[in-house]
Structure 1
Amino acid sequence: MISAVAARKAALAAKTQSEPQLPIPESITPPPPQPPLPNGSQKRKSTAQKQKPQKKARKLKPFEKSNGPRPTEHVVDVFKDQTDVIVLQSDSDDESDDAMSVLGESDKEPVVAAEKRTWSPSAPMDVSSDEESLDENVTGLDTSTLFPHPRRSRQTEEIVSASTFRPALDRNMFYLTEQEAPDMGMGEKGTLLCLNAEDSLCLLGACHLTVLHGSIHLFGATLRPSPRQYPIYAPRSSLLPVLTASGDSSSGLKVEKLPPRLQRLAQFPAVIFLQELNTGVEGLGLICRTFEGVFEPSRWYDGKKSQFNIAGLHMVTQITKDVSSFTIPGSWSAALDGISTRNGMYIVKGPKNSGKSTFARTLTNRLLQSYSRVAFLECDIGQSEFTPGGLVSLNIISEPILGPPFTHPTLPNHAHFIGSTTPRSTPSHYLNAISALIQTYRLDIQNPAIDIDADDERISDAIPLVVNTMGWSKGLGADLTQKIESFLEPTDVFDIRIPDSEPLATNSYAAFNSSSMTDGSNARVHVLEPTTTPPITAFTSADQRTMSTLSYFHARFPLDAVPTEYGQLTASSWDTSRPLCAVPPYEIDCGVAFDKVILSGAGTEDVVEEEIGRVLNGAIVGLVKCDPGTLDVEPPAPNPVGIPYSRQTEPPDPSTSTCVGLALVRGISSPSDDATDTGNTKTYLQLLTPLPHALLAGSRVLVKGEMELPVWGMLDFREEEEGDVAGVEKENVPYLQWGKAPDGAMGAERRKVRRNLMRRGQM
């Protein structure tokens, strides 16, 4: 039997006899063809070599049988000049690469190496010059041809630049001392930054920002020179702000009062002043450990020292998997540039994770350039912008929104308590509450009678409305959104749509825009593309909702201030030194302070009067204020727990009531022993709430929904000091039980599953 290599060489040798012989170099002698072995002298192959079946001979065409190869074609033998060895480069420096010798079939026959070629299953191919130039200084075996696929690096994503601004001390960045800052009217020390037209600055952390010269774009807002200090909150859990200089040449600098080293500041398109911001918002990460360190660079960052000499403020140079910057898609810019309707009502809708809330925030900032106030109607009770979840609220906004929702908890001007993060269980109450807020806007807010500020050139006798809908865009959610749209009769509809198959270009979205809706209304429809910024997967919507709730209960509002009819009251500090279980609560006589206690939500109609205390313990409740004479107060009936509760009571009518805020029932005292003959007892509620005292006095109705306090809010985050517990001991934390549950408690033991039961067919 002839081996495959020997048969191939014998066939090639037979073909070359009829061809003209080419000149052969003296240094290279082709090996002679190996004759076929007789049948009796077949070599025995090793066990490691597999026996391959003999291939059938190819049938020749009639022309080939008679005449052999075509005379007009020159058959080139690709295996003729190929050596049977792999060329290895020597490690010695004295040997020449061109005259390197290797051993052939016999160690005594030196064969000159042929040209270096890459590996191929058939014929070798020449290596390109570009690849050779990369490895010309590398010695040893070239393994790039053996492993065609490169190894995956740790960071395979594309590096995107976030900041093009390069700070240079005393050139475009100046540190103001405690003596220089008051002379410029800044009060405290800080850092001056001079931005050129092509510069972009991405910030991480918290700071006070003041525009001194020119103007800058930030989160869709244009900030112009003024003594106003804007608080900037930029955690890694949300989109980071990017500052860019605009073409406005206005200036608030007084060059004659500047030090000599700052005389050339007016030559830059924009000059800003950054100062340290101490509000305690960073402490929220100690309470909710998911957000721990979000105002600082991640552990993958090379250095954590601030480039601006400001504690808690950093510059982000590259976008990684841990951070994302704010960018406006092209269709968003085109839609924002086209809003010029006076007394406009704008509704934003779209599916979840499409940038709907981000666009509503950007739209509000853009409207604040032309209007002194903007009304914001929040219909997304899962992820609200200014209040915790479970509320539909109407807020009057007068300041740009420069941070995520948990950094600006606001007391709403008008709100209604739904008590859940979804309207699935109470859709009718949800629609009635939104309808009442729209009616309040039209009657009391849309055309206000307020004094006009002569220094403010913006429109102050009209307040536009921005409506942010929920991300539930299918089934019942789509029907509720359509109903809200019919209540509002908007002037502009911003519809964010996610393409089903391939992503559409920006001009493709613009092609969908129309001047009227399909149902015959006069609203302009702007079809927008979803945000192109990748979501930060480390923080889910549930995490953001938890953070907003904890931020609300730890926020500090002025105790003697209440939101005015057209004013905005936002928290400016947080008290994170103590957990909620260590904060002294308000103790209120439930029978005297409240006229009614109402349960709302699925399954609450089955709660009997004797169990109302257990249901309220540890719950988040809404404090509702009703108009005088609109609440039907029944005479007190004998109640063993002393709480004015009756089964199957509907929540107050949204048209005659408003929710001033939320409270946490930290505990309920047991009924007193001095019960009268009528059976009435006194029960005290321990409430925790950040609301001012003036708002608490008029809240006579307590409504409990489906919302509960997150587990993070129940824990004591303070660490032990020198063996002593700094606060509440672990075993005494309310609402939590550590270790094994007592015997006989439902769910205390691990569930047992029997797997030895037989089916009927197995019997």
Structure 2
Amino acid sequence: MQKEQTLCFRGKCFLTCLYGRVEVMGFTIEEGQQSYPLFSPASHCPLTIRALESSDGTRDDKTEAASILQKYLSSASRKKLLKRITSNSSLILLEPMETPLTRFLSSFTELSELFSPPMSELISAVLDTPLNGLGMIPLVSTVEGLKTSKSYREALSTVVSACRGDMDGCAVILVCGTKNVGKSTFIRTLINTLLNHTTSVDYLEGDLGQTEFTPAGCLSLSTVREPLLGPPFTHQRTPEHMIYYAQSSCESDLDRYLESLKSLWRRRSQSRETPVIINTMGWVKGFGFQLLVDMIRFFPVSHVVQLCHSGTTQSYTHLIVQSEFQDVGRQGTAKHQRTNEHREQSLLAYLSQLQSPDPGPVRPLNSLTPYQVPHTAVALGVVHCEVVPSHMFYAANASLVGLCCLGEKITSRGGPVLLSQAPICPCVGFGVLRGIDMARGLYFLLTPVDPSILRKVNCLLLGAISLPSCVLTT
């Protein structure tokens, strides 16, 4: 690839930079670095690989490139390629990628074409290149992928400059905006850009409906050390600290929402100098506006990035970003692009951790061996609504539950322990309550959480986040 040349594509692959430098979603990948997984599904904006100018204009490009290519190409192919290489060229190795995540998602009929171009892009797809055999479908050069406005680029530059400068303490960047304006994409690009200059970025999740690293309904605090080169379902991970709010919206209990965020923030060492990004709900009017004000007052915010809306500058740097990507402000209507589908993809991605890492057929959840958990060992609670005790088991059976750790010891009188109100407590992961044996007093639980961590769990919380229907019907 020559300087500023781009490759916009659908599909998935591993990318290794053999020579030069390329950029993907704000992250610079250079020769000598590890391979990175790239995910460009139909559910989100297509990824673009862009070649960058060389950081060393004095190098002997022909000799170095020839040495690198010797491992990958025949003599004839090397000679042909070397004629086109200059000091500003970049050589990348693209390899096919198949993981337990992609195998699990593709096993569901409705997601089998997730990494293929949507109908609206078929006219732009290039279907006769060697890349097709890798699981990649290039799009014609007129397709831009992520289109960034001037204000978008200026906001990124301002925040990065602040993080690299001599700030008094760490930069705390709060990102807000209405739904469907590209807030999550901006945050991923910002994190990736910051990772070019720092080893890690702290991320406080405050958007219950469109979470970045966990299934929906979670508030969490994570330390990000690797670039995010795909949508949320491609990088599900266990945060350092997490609270299961158990709903995709906070309108029904604003106090619990704020107290949960404050609890997470207090768990972060105040001496850390790592930049912090705070994501917020896509709710900016009425109580949503007051919620933003309360958050800005509580957190030591240094910058507010507000997408598409103007406001009054306070004691922080206020950066307004005008999103310019296609269909800004509208929820996606094409296949895989609705917000509820994004939530389901993230949950399925989490459940894919139950699959074996070895290649082989996907095992349905009902074929996996569950843990047997005594009723007396854990408390059971319902977060999002009132359920009479006699109906609690009916509500929880065959449902998703948060695996939580109450501060106090569970005391049973020989039967199940049922909570009358939702606690604010740490969550270590999620499980599927596959069945309940009343005669033996057992819960049957499927979860990818490590057994050493699972021993600390003494509370199962049921919320409004339901299992995707495909899990129950396949």
TM-score normalized by structure 2? 0.86
Q: Is the 8 A contact 2:209 2:217 kept in 1?
A: yes
Are residues 620 and 573 of structure 1, via their aligned partners in 2, closer, same or farther at CA, if it must alter by over 3 Å? farther
CA–CA distance in 1 between the matches of 2:307 and 2:13?
32
Q: Is the 8 A contact 1:556 1:573 kept in 2?
A: no
Equivalent residue for 1:644, pick from 414, 417, 420: 417
Give secondary structure in 2 for the equivalent of 1:341: helix
Q: Residue 644 of structure 1 aligns to which amino acid in structure 2?
A: V
Q: Is the 8 A contact 2:175 2:279 kept in 1?
A: yes
Q: Deviations over 1:439-480 (max 9, x none)?
A: 22243xx52xxxxxxxxxxxxxx3110111111222222222
Partner of 1:524: 317
Alignment RMSD, CA only? 2.7
Q: Deviations over 1:241-276 (max 9, x none)?
A: 112122233489564464452555454422211111
Are residues 278 and 292 of structure 1, via their aligned partners in 2, closer, same or farther at CA, if it must alter by over 3 Å? closer
CA–CA distance in 2 between the matches of 1:671 and 1:390?
32
Q: Is the 8 A contact 2:42 2:115 kept in 1?
A: yes
Partner of 1:544: 342
Equivalent residue for 2:291, pick from 480, 485, 496: 480
Q: Deviations over 1:298-347 (max 9, x none)?
A: 57457745433643112111678xxx721221111011111222421101
Partner of 1:312: 135
Task: Give the C-alpha shift of residue 695 in structure 1.
Answer: 1.6
Task: Give the C-alpha shift of residue 484 in structure 1.
Answer: 1.6
Partner of 2:268: 441
Q: Deviations over 1:53-72 (max 9, x none)?
A: xxxxxxxxxxxxxxxxxxxx
CA–CA distance in 1 between the matches of 2:184 and 2:4?
29
Task: Give the C-alpha shift of residue 220 in structure 1.
Answer: 1.4
Partner of 2:238: 411
Give secondary structure in 1 for the equivalent of 2:464: strand
- State whether structure 2 residue 414 is matched by structure 1 residue 631: no
Equivalent residue for 2:43, pick from 225, 237, 255: 237
CA–CA distance in 2 between the matches of 1:697 and 1:385?
26
Q: Is the 8 A contact 1:349 1:496 kept in 2?
A: yes
Q: Deviations over 1:176-232 (max 9, x none)?
A: xxxxxxxxxxxxxxxxxxx11241111211111111222112111222222400000
Q: Residue 269 of structure 1 aligns to which amino acid in structure 2?
A: S
Counterpart mapping for 1:335-734 below 5 A? 335-339=155-159, 340-342=161-163, 343-443=170-270, 447=272, 462-498=273-309, 516-517=313-314, 521=315, 523-534=316-327, 536-538=332-334, 539-555=337-353, 577-592=362-377, 594=378, 596-604=379-387, 607-608=388-389, 610-626=390-406, 630-631=407-408, 633-634=410-411, 636-637=412-413, 642-646=415-419, 648-651=420-423, 653=424, 657-672=425-440, 683-716=441-474
CA–CA distance in 2 between the matches of 1:357 and 1:541?
12
CA–CA distance in 2 between the matches of 1:632 and 1:698?
11
Bigger Cα Rg = 1
Partner of 2:94: 274
Task: Give the C-alpha shift of residue 581 in structure 1.
Answer: 2.6
Partner of 1:22: none
Task: Give the C-alpha shift of residue 670 in structure 1.
Answer: 2.5
Partner of 1:44: none
Worse-superposed segment, 202-211 or 476-485 = 476-485
Task: Give the C-alpha shift of residue 578 in structure 1.
Answer: 2.2
- State whether structure 2 residue 146 is matched by structure 1 residue 326: yes
Q: Is the 8 A contact 1:296 1:304 kept in 2?
A: no
Partner of 1:118: none
Q: Is the 8 A contact 2:53 2:88 kept in 1?
A: no
Are residues 258 and 269 of structure 1, via their aligned partners in 2, closer, same or farther at CA, if it must alter by over 3 Å? closer
- State whether structure 2 residue 115 is matched by structure 1 residue 295: yes
CA–CA distance in 1 between the matches of 2:308 and 2:17?
36
Counterpart mapping for 1:143-222 below 5 A? 195-222=1-28
CA–CA distance in 2 between the matches of 1:279 and 1:707?
26
Q: Deviations over 1:359-399 (max 9, x none)?
A: 11111111111110001111111110110001001111111
TM-score normalized by structure 1? 0.55
Judging by fraction of residues, say which structure has more helix. Answer: 2
Give secondary structure in 2 for the equivalent of 1:210: strand
Q: Which runs of 5+ in 2 are unaligned?
A: 164-169
Report how many residues are paired. 445
Q: Is the 8 A contact 2:213 2:235 kept in 1?
A: yes
CA–CA distance in 2 between the matches of 1:471 and 1:290?
28
Higher relative contact order (CA 8 A, sep 6+): 2
Are residues 437 and 257 of structure 1, via their aligned partners in 2, closer, same or farther at CA, if it must alter by over 3 Å? closer
Q: Is the 8 A contact 2:126 2:139 kept in 1?
A: no
Q: Deviations over 1:33-64 (max 9, x none)?
A: xxxxxxxxxxxxxxxxxxxxxxxxxxxxxxxx
Counterpart mapping for 1:38-49 below 5 A? none
CA–CA distance in 1 between the matches of 2:288 and 2:426?
24
Are residues 318 and 303 of structure 1, via their aligned partners in 2, closer, same or farther at CA, if it must alter by over 3 Å? closer
CA–CA distance in 2 between the matches of 1:573 and 1:396?
28
Q: Residue 432 of structure 2 aligns to which amino acid in structure 1?
A: L
Task: Give the C-alpha shift of residue 297 in structure 1.
Answer: 3.8
Q: Deviations over 1:558-614 (max 9, x none)?
A: 9xxxxxxxxxxxxx899871222332222222213x2x222212323xx12x33221
Q: Is the 8 A contact 1:282 1:295 kept in 2?
A: no
Q: Deviations over 1:742-763 (max 9, x none)?
A: xxxxxxxxxxxxxxxxxxxxxx
Partner of 1:89: none
CA–CA distance in 1 between the matches of 2:100 and 2:456?
30
Are residues 345 and 483 of structure 1, via their aligned partners in 2, closer, same or farther at CA, if it must alter by over 3 Å? same
Q: Is the 8 A contact 1:597 1:703 kept in 2?
A: yes
Give secondary structure in 1 for the equivalent of 2:257: helix
Task: Give the C-alpha shift of residue 350 in structure 1.
Answer: 0.3
CA–CA distance in 2 between the matches of 1:197 and 1:220?
16
CA–CA distance in 2 between the matches of 1:540 and 1:287?
20
State the identity %.
27
CA–CA distance in 2 between the matches of 1:257 and 1:230?
19
Q: Is the 8 A contact 1:555 1:575 kept in 2?
A: no
Q: Is the 8 A contact 1:554 1:576 kept in 2?
A: no
Q: Is the 8 A contact 1:213 1:225 kept in 2?
A: yes
Task: Give the C-alpha shift of residue 705 in structure 1.
Answer: 1.8
Are residues 391 and 513 of structure 1, via their aligned partners in 2, closer, same or farther at CA, if it must alter by over 3 Å? closer
